[in-house]
Structure 1
Amino acid sequence: MRIAEARRVAAEYLAASQRGRDHALPERAADAVQLVVSELITNAVKYGRGLIELTLARTDDTLTVTVRDGGTTLPVTRSADPGRVGQHGLEIVAALSQAVEIRREASGKRVTALIALR
């Protein structure tokens, strides 16, 4: 899966899941979802292996973004370092999410981020 394609899928999913709801989705929440998807897919492309799977699930107040790939090396959140060039993706995901879960699975790994929509 390409990064631009994943962002498009996320935008379309948000738009479709918003239909029929009483309240507008804050632009900030939509931007956060796009950025989290972009960072997680980028990490899977750069550091993972095999097929990449993106899953999105929404409740009224939250969106769960899950990315799976066949790589077995689990990503590690690094401490903030403004002097470091690159490798800030997981920091960004953690800053934009209520929770981040990283798990090894039988066929690789899964990274799940829970994002507040309000």
Structure 2
Amino acid sequence: MATPPGHGTTSLTCPEARSHVRSVLQPLCDTLPEQQAALLQQDACLITSELVTNAMLHAGGVREFDAGLQGQVLTIRVSDHSTTPPTPRPHAPAVPGGHGWLVVQRLSTDVSVEPDAHGKTIRVTLDASRMTG
């Protein structure tokens, strides 16, 4: 796993991570219908923001970050320093915050949490062929 060029994980920001994801997606988005490309970019950037923010707030920071494209499938990986898996808060629409993990799960094609000796890696995939408006 690698961080975006020139960005160490200790200083990785959400805008930098989203920018990296957009640059990874650009070749695919250039081949998709405009609405499908827009949905893919929006979902990917929201998921990236949630994962990076949650790593910063709840898991000791981002250890590693990577995004890659294989065909029409985007994979985002965020590693942090905590072995505790993410858990959704109980449903409380009137309470701000705490809904990000549910959003990540609903927008993603697949989500996995992989513990390791230094924390965990959350791996999320988005399949562009499933994007509809």
Number of aligned residues: 116
How far did 1:58 drift? 1.4
- TM-score between the two structures when normalised by the length of structure 1: 0.85
1:110 aligns with 2:121: yes
Query: Which residue of the partner structure matches residue 57 of structure 2?
Result: 46
TM-score, structure 2 as length reference: 0.76
Q: Which runs of 5+ in 2 are unaligned?
A: 1-11
2:73 — aligned with what? 62
Code of the aligned partner of 1:39: E
CA–CA separation in structure 2 for the residues paired with 1:6 and 1:23: 22
Deviation at 1:36, TM superposition (A): 0.6
SS of the residue corresponding to residue 92 of structure 2 reads coil
**Given residue 18 of structure 1, which amino acid in structure 2 is its aligned partner?**
L
Q: Distance in 2 between matches of 1:95 and 1:51?
A: 22
- Residue by residue over 1:67-86, the C-alpha shift from the partner in whole angstroms, topping out at 9 and shown as x without a partner, is 00112222113454312320
Provide the rounded CA distance (Å) in 2 between the counterparts of 1:38 and 1:108: 19
Identity of aligned residues (%): 28
Which one-letter code corresponds to 1:42 in the other structure? Answer: T
Determine the C-alpha separation between the residues in 2 that align with 1:40 and 1:112: 10
Any stretches of 5+ residues in structure 1 without a counterpart? none
Write the letter of the residue equivalent to 1:83: A
Provide runs of 4+ in structure 1 moved above 4 Å. Answer: none
Give the superposition deviation at 1:91: 0.7
